[in-house]
Structure 1
Amino acid sequence: MTQSNPVIGADKSGLQYRNEDNEGKRALLTHHKGAEPPSYAEAGTLWLDDSAAPWLLKWYDGTGWIVQGALNTTAEEFTPFIGGAALGDASESVRGLVRRASNAEAEAGENTEKYITPAQLAEFGGGNFLESVSQGDLNTSVGDVSSSSVSTDFVFIGTLPGGQYGFGHTLLGTTSHIFETMISTDIAAETAKIRARRTNPAGSATITARQRYITASPPFDMGDGAVHGFLFLKLDAAGNILGHYLADVPPWGYNGPTVIRADKIDRKTGKKYRKILKPRSMEEYMDGAAPEYIHEEITQDIKNADMALIPHPFTLEDGETAVLVDPMDGRIEKLLQLQNAGEEIAAAIYDGYFRPDNAALARKGPPGVMQVALKVF
């Protein structure tokens, strides 16, 4: 026991003062170690209780003693206390230590109470946070692209909306006509464009190509909020409609070099991630580094990365222009619902039921493409 009041009273001889001073300092050095609390304790006093093993380090708050931790002199270990109990592993109901998951546990996605680091989240897809995109996460939609004048010479109708996620196309409005179509690829933009010509009878006619595709990464946001859909119109110098494109994805979404296919999905946030090769230099590979993959969140910047490369779906001749009908207009979503139900929206467009306004809207979007309001007659 090394307890002694470090406060020395008056009228002490030199030797007595020295002895009491030494005992008081020794008590401070040992945290007033003893089986009973020091009788002279004041608020803030530390006491090492050695009445049992392990020893307990306690702190006096002026009323009672608060256990700070346990000292195991055999194992030479100190265990902190929290909430009156030894600090252990945390759980949903108990505060405590949280251990880091191993790389193997993070990669396997084991359901544990261990935490993962941001680096593990990026490298292994977040364990039980991210799951592989299943067939149930994928939906399909249909998109139409049309031309009002297809004759016996091949003409470009437009870019198919599905790109690398698209299935085969069908032709609408061809009851009494025979057409040939072909798909050509723009190597620079990596776009799939459909061309068509009329083989019988002679003359020109309106044709609509419809494609079903996988909707891999909706919604799209060009800077003004999530859009309702994309209705592009091709106009001549007089404002007549020569072609249209209607889909829930822009032409740059699934065409172009940027991959926006989701490989993983965060079930908690709904965010989607793509698997990409971890950036390394050729020198690193030549020095023996192995290719590694990480999961990157598919942001709106990634979805719109090819916007400038494919700002609209048409091939324009002199005097022709492409406009984008206000994508924030909720009626575009209604048109898409009708289109997915089998309706041919092109017929209403060419019959004059819909017209684009002449005034430009202050919207963010593809460069060089004016955005206009939709007028219904």
Structure 2
Amino acid sequence: MTQLDVVVVGGGAMGSAAAWQLARRGMRVALLEQYEAGHTNGASHGASRIFRLSYPDPVHIGLAREARRLWRELEDVTGARLLTVTGGVDHGDHPFLQDLADGLAAAGVPHSWLTPAEAAERWPGIRFDTRALFHPDSGRLHADHAVAALQDAAAKEGAEVRHSTPVTAIEVLGDDTVLVHTDGGSYRARRVVAAVNAWAAKLVGGLAPLPPLRVTQEQPAHFAARVPEDGWPSFGHRFADPDHFYGGIYGLATPGEGIKVGFHGVGPEVDPDHRDFTPEPAQLAALREYTRRWLPGVDADVFTPISCTYTTTPDSIFVLDRHGPVVVATGFSGHGFKFVPAIGRVLADLALDGTRPDPRFAFNR
């Protein structure tokens, strides 16, 4: 039986970041991932994720600022190019845009309001009928490269990274002892970090007081770009009417693949072990109709559907907490990727000395 300080279960972005942070602190760490490297079964694959500081509260803004610094550090350590600054823009008739602007102003984050004409001149691929909130520090992350870089950095610090190693059970023997069982053997450790997101209820639902988790199969698509991909910002379009285009849209360029456009968190509920990866016809039709009406810079008839999972909490705030020797990361609700390396730091803190982040990330809040 292998003896370690910490076993990290889940080799997606969050678990890989935790393994890097733990290993660089001198811990004996194993990172166990149930699927092969580069798989598409969870929420960490693909070539594009939005990075932004645009949140209405200082906690998320602070975490994003820390993540930005750590993304750049990870790039320096591995030589990978991960974060590309493109600027970002939010528009629409939802009052939440003013909340975003107020939060950015309070935190001293650069931003400005543009008229519809000013926004359309800057980004001709998007149609605007309201003022737009511009935040120049936003951009995109390459998800696949980020996971690979995090695992490479963890391995360089001495972590054992094992793919195709499903964890069959976690057994708590005491406050400082857990057994992590796989078909190929067991690992004994002082702590386990379960960064399994959609599989959290299945794996640790009996070990920690998880909030209700809703797992959905989200269905964005890459649309062919009529405006060059390098001219696109990350963007959000928010409607006050929740029934209008499912309440809102997000999008960004994915170089070489087109413009990624999707609804946020409204896909059908699924079991993560039994997904069909097939777009729901009504939502796909609505997505294409949105692009025809609001994105003159894409071709609504030339597209490639994408499939990923969201694991959403009732308040859409993720869970970063510890119960006994079990640390849990889940419920990222479709907006966690930008924070990945900072969340890795939080998970390492929880595992080593129990230091908890803001109470909003607790099991019970």
Please identify which structure carries the higher helix content. Answer: 2
Confirm or deny a common fold (TM above 0.5): no
TM-score between both structures, scaled by the size of structure 1:
0.22
TM-score between both structures, scaled by the size of structure 2:
0.23
> Could you say which structure has the greater relative contact order, defined with CA pairs below 8 angstroms and 6 or more residues apart?
2
